[in-house]
Structure 1
Amino acid sequence: MRNEEICYLTATAALELFRRRKLSPVEMVKALIDRAGRVNPAINCLADRYFEEALDQAREAEARHMKRGGSTLALDGIPLAVKDAQRVAGRRTTHGSLIFKDSVDDHSDPMIERLQAAGAIILARTTTPEFCLSGVTSSRIWGVTRNPWNTDWGPGGSSGGSGAALAAGLVPLATGTDIGGSIRIPAAACGVVGFKPPHGRNPDGPPANFDRFNHCGPMTRSVADAALMQAVTAGPHPLDHDSLRQTVRLPLTAGSIKGMKIAYSVDLGYVPVEDEVRANMVAAIEVFRSLGARVEEVDLGWTDAVEQNGLHWYNLMHFGRQTIWNLKENSDLMTDYAIRFAKLAKTASGAEDVHKPWEQTHRMYQTLGPVLETHDVFICPTNNAPGVRADHDPFDPNFTVAGRKVDAEYGWVMTHQFNMLHNCPVISVPSGHAATRVPTGIQIVGRTFDDARVFKAALAYEKALGGWYSDKRKRPAL
Structure 2
Amino acid sequence: MSNDDICYLPAIEVLKLFRTKKLSPVELLKAMVARSEKVNPKINCFADRYHDEALAQAKASEARYMKRGAKTAPLDGIPLAVKDAQRVGGKRTTHGSLIFKDSVDDHSDPMIERLQQAGAIIFARTTTPEFCLSGITASRIWGVTRNPWNTGWGPGGSSGGSGAALAAGLTTLATGTDIGGSIRIPASACGVVGFKPPHGRNPDGPPSNFDRFNHCGPMTRTVADAALMQNITSGPHPLDHDSIRQKVKLPTEPAAIKGMKIAFSVDFGYVPVDSDVRQNMMQALEVFKRLGARVEEVDLGWTEAVDHDALHWYNMMNFGRQTIWQSKDNADLMTDYALKFAEAARRNSTMDDIHKPWERTHKMYQTLGPVLASHDVFICPTNNAPSVRADHDPWDPEFRVNGKKVDPEFGWVMTHQFNMLHNCPVLSVPSGHAASGVPTGIQIVGRTWDDARVFKAALAYEKALGSWYTGKGKRPVL
Q: Please, what TM-score do these two structures have when normalized by structure 1? A: 0.99
Deviations 1:349-389 (A, max 9, x none): 42211111110000000000000000000000000000000
Aligned match of 1:322? 322
Aligned match of 1:405? 405
Aligned-residue offset at 1:67: 1.1
Aligned match of 1:84? 84
Aligned-residue offset at 1:74: 0.4
Which letter does structure 2 place at the counterpart of 1:457? A
Aligned match of 1:227? 227
Which letter does structure 2 place at the counterpart of 1:298? V
Aligned-residue offset at 1:2: 1.0
What is the DSSP-based 3-state SS (H/G/I as helix, E as strand, rest coil) of the residue aligned with 2:125?
strand
2:461 matches 1:467: no
2:154 matches 1:154: yes
Deviations 1:389-423 (A, max 9, x none): 00000000000001110000000000000000000
Tell me the distance in 2 between the aligned counterparts of 1:417 and 1:269: 14
Tell me the distance in 1 between the aligned counterparts of 2:155 and 2:438: 9
Aligned-residue offset at 1:139: 0.2
Contact 2:129 2:136 in 1 (8 A): yes
Contact 2:183 2:196 in 1 (8 A): yes
2:288 matches 1:288: yes
Aligned match of 2:201? 201
What is the DSSP-based 3-state SS (H/G/I as helix, E as strand, rest coil) of the residue aligned with 2:444?
strand
What is the DSSP-based 3-state SS (H/G/I as helix, E as strand, rest coil) of the residue aligned with 1:309?
helix
Tell me the distance in 2 between the aligned counterparts of 1:71 and 1:326: 47
Aligned match of 1:53? 53
Aligned-residue offset at 1:348: 3.0
Aligned match of 1:477? 477
Aligned match of 1:14? 14
Tell me the distance in 2 between the aligned counterparts of 1:428 and 1:62: 33
Aligned match of 2:419? 419
Contact 2:82 2:124 in 1 (8 A): yes
Tell me the distance in 1 between the aligned counterparts of 2:306 and 2:120: 39
Contact 1:197 1:215 in 2 (8 A): yes
Aligned match of 1:124? 124
Aligned-residue offset at 1:297: 0.3
Matched-pair identity in %: 77
Aligned-residue offset at 1:249: 1.2
Contact 1:135 1:182 in 2 (8 A): yes
Which letter does structure 1 place at the counterpart of 2:252? L
Aligned match of 2:212? 212
Contact 2:316 2:349 in 1 (8 A): no
2:332 matches 1:332: yes
What is the DSSP-based 3-state SS (H/G/I as helix, E as strand, rest coil) of the residue aligned with 2:347?
coil
Aligned match of 2:174? 174
Which letter does structure 1 place at the counterpart of 2:335? T
Contact 2:372 2:447 in 1 (8 A): yes
Aligned-residue offset at 1:252: 0.4
Aligned match of 2:142? 142
What is the DSSP-based 3-state SS (H/G/I as helix, E as strand, rest coil) of the residue aligned with 1:352?
helix
Aligned-residue offset at 1:170: 0.3
Tell me the distance in 2 between the aligned counterparts of 1:296 and 1:347: 43
Q: Which runs of 5+ in 1 are unaligned?
A: none
Which letter does structure 1 place at the counterpart of 2:421? L
Aligned-residue offset at 1:308: 4.4
2:295 matches 1:276: no
Aligned match of 1:313? 313
Contact 1:306 1:417 in 2 (8 A): no
2:79 matches 1:70: no
What is the DSSP-based 3-state SS (H/G/I as helix, E as strand, rest coil) of the residue aligned with 1:182?
coil
Aligned-residue offset at 1:307: 3.9
Tell me the distance in 2 between the aligned counterparts of 1:463 and 1:345: 46
Aligned-residue offset at 1:57: 0.3
What is the DSSP-based 3-state SS (H/G/I as helix, E as strand, rest coil) of the residue aligned with 1:320?
helix
Tell me the distance in 1 between the aligned counterparts of 2:90 and 2:306: 41
Aligned-residue offset at 1:347: 2.1
CA RMSD of aligned residues (A): 0.6
Which letter does structure 2 place at the counterpart of 1:275? S
Aligned match of 2:96? 96
What is the DSSP-based 3-state SS (H/G/I as helix, E as strand, rest coil) of the residue aligned with 1:410?
coil
Which letter does structure 1 place at the counterpart of 2:348? A
Which letter does structure 2 place at the counterpart of 1:188? S
Deviations 1:414-461 (A, max 9, x none): 000000000000000000000110000000000000000000000000
Deviations 1:135-166 (A, max 9, x none): 11000000000000000000000000000000
Contact 1:263 1:375 in 2 (8 A): yes
Tell me the distance in 2 between the aligned counterparts of 1:228 and 1:78: 12
Q: Which runs of 5+ in 2 are unaligned?
A: none
2:260 matches 1:253: no
Tell me the distance in 1 between the aligned counterparts of 2:150 and 2:261: 36
2:389 matches 1:389: yes
Deviations 1:1-37 (A, max 9, x none): 2100110000000000000100000000000000000
What is the DSSP-based 3-state SS (H/G/I as helix, E as strand, rest coil) of the residue aligned with 1:445?
strand
Contact 2:307 2:360 in 1 (8 A): no
Contact 1:50 1:123 in 2 (8 A): yes
Aligned match of 2:41? 41
Tell me the distance in 1 between the aligned counterparts of 2:320 and 2:43: 28
Tell me the distance in 1 between the aligned counterparts of 2:306 and 2:140: 32
Tell me the distance in 2 between the aligned counterparts of 1:23 and 1:421: 43
Tell me the distance in 2 between the aligned counterparts of 1:7 and 1:221: 11
Q: Please, what TM-score do these two structures have when normalized by structure 2? A: 0.99
Aligned match of 1:106? 106
Contact 2:146 2:152 in 1 (8 A): yes
Tell me the distance in 1 between the aligned counterparts of 2:311 and 2:21: 49
Contact 1:309 1:360 in 2 (8 A): no
Tell me the distance in 1 between the aligned counterparts of 2:308 and 2:125: 35
Tell me the distance in 2 between the aligned counterparts of 1:316 and 1:235: 31
Counting matched residue pairs gives 478
Tell me the distance in 2 between the aligned counterparts of 1:259 and 1:409: 38
Aligned-residue offset at 1:91: 0.3
Q: Cα–Cα, structure 1 residues 154 and 308, in superposed 2: closer, same or farther, change >3 Å?
A: closer
Aligned match of 1:346? 346
2:443 matches 1:443: yes
Contact 2:79 2:123 in 1 (8 A): yes
What is the DSSP-based 3-state SS (H/G/I as helix, E as strand, rest coil) of the residue aligned with 2:476?
coil
Tell me the distance in 1 between the aligned counterparts of 2:58 and 2:471: 26
Contact 1:309 1:356 in 2 (8 A): no
Aligned match of 1:457? 457
Runs (4+) of structure 1 moved beyond 4 Å?
Answer: none
